[in-house]
């Protein structure tokens, strides 16, 4: 029997994702309704984005996050996400910033196409609201020379801020074994409001990413279906 050897990690990953997506892609776009669809509760899930978890462990400005969602009538998946994110960045002008914060997100996902009586395998899209609170410091902040003094740098070690944003999401979740599920999620994020600190703005918002008007992120997620 011949054996196939994967010489590229990227090729292996793409091949695995293709095998995961094809069964769902071939699923009917509209599944006939059954008596099962009139049942209100179809299960609860806990999940985490292990890409963000890995970035945090490596000190790369990720987050530790936990997501919970409930399947109602195979039509609505209200969700709640909470997390913690430390960050450390250095700007081109030499300003060093670091800090940490907590965030929460609430919203709902809608199945676009699904397989299984409890929508075990699905494509979904959704809308979410995010809120983050964080403390940070700014070091080596430059000030130009004035008439009475020379140029100097200063440090601000106790800055506080918060931010609000919206997220438009899309993704896939599929069962791999028993209560374990894998999936991916694409997120487009748009800032609604950011409060500046007393002496400057943080370059990073926990749960959102770089402090800019909008962000786009992609993550892989691991889910566990609760036994009730």
* Domain membership flag for residue 20: no
Predicted pLDDT of residue 33: 64
Q: Distance between CA 64 and CA 58 in Å, rounded?
A: 12
Query: Which pLDDT score, from 0 to 100, does residue 32 have?
Result: 59
User: What pTM did the predictor assign?
Assistant: 0.81
Answer yes or no: is 79 within a domain: yes
- Which pLDDT belongs to residue 182? 97
Per-residue pLDDT at 28 = 43
Assign residue 168 the CATH number of its domain: 2.40.160
22 domain-assigned: no
133 assigned to some structural domain = yes
What whole-number percentage of the chain has pLDDT above 90? Answer: 69
Dihedral sign for Cα 143, 148, 150, 152, please.
negative
| pLDDT tens sequence across 67-112 | 999 999 999 999 999 999 999 999 877 889 999 999 999 999 999 9
Query: Is 30 within a domain?
Result: no
Residue 29 falls within a domain, yes or no?
Answer: no
- Range(s) of the domain holding residue 146: 39-225
Residue ranges, the chain, pLDDT below 70? 1-36, 145, 147
């Amino acid at each position: 029997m011949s054996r196939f050897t994967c010489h590229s990690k990227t090729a292996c990953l793409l091949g695995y994702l293709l095998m995961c997506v094809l069964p769902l892609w071939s699923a009917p776009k509209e599944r006939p309704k059954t008596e099962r669809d009139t049942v209100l509760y179809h299960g609860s899930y806990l999940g985490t984005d292990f890409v963000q978890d890995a970035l945090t462990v490596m000190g790369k400005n990720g987050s530790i996050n936990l997501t919970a969602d409930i399947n109602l009538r195979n039509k609505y998946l209200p969700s709640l996400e909470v997390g913690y994110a430390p960050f450390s960045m250095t700007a081109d002008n030499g300003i060093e910033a670091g800090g940490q914060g907590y965030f929460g997100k609430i919203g709902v996902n809608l199945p676009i196409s699904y397989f299984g009586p409890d929508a075990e395998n699905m494509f979904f899209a959704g809308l979410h609201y995010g809120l983050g609170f964080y403390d940070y410091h700014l070091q080596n902040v430059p000030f130009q020379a004035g008439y009475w003094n020379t140029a100097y740098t200063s440090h601000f070690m106790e800055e506080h801020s918060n931010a609000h944003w919206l997220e438009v999401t899309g993704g896939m979740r599929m069962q791999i074994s028993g209560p374990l599920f894998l999936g991916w999620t694409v997120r487009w994020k748009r800032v609604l409001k950011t409060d500046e600190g007393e002496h400057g703005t943080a370059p990073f918002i926990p749960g959102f990413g770089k402090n800019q008007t909008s962000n786009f992120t992609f993550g892989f997620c691991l889910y566990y279906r609760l036994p009730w």
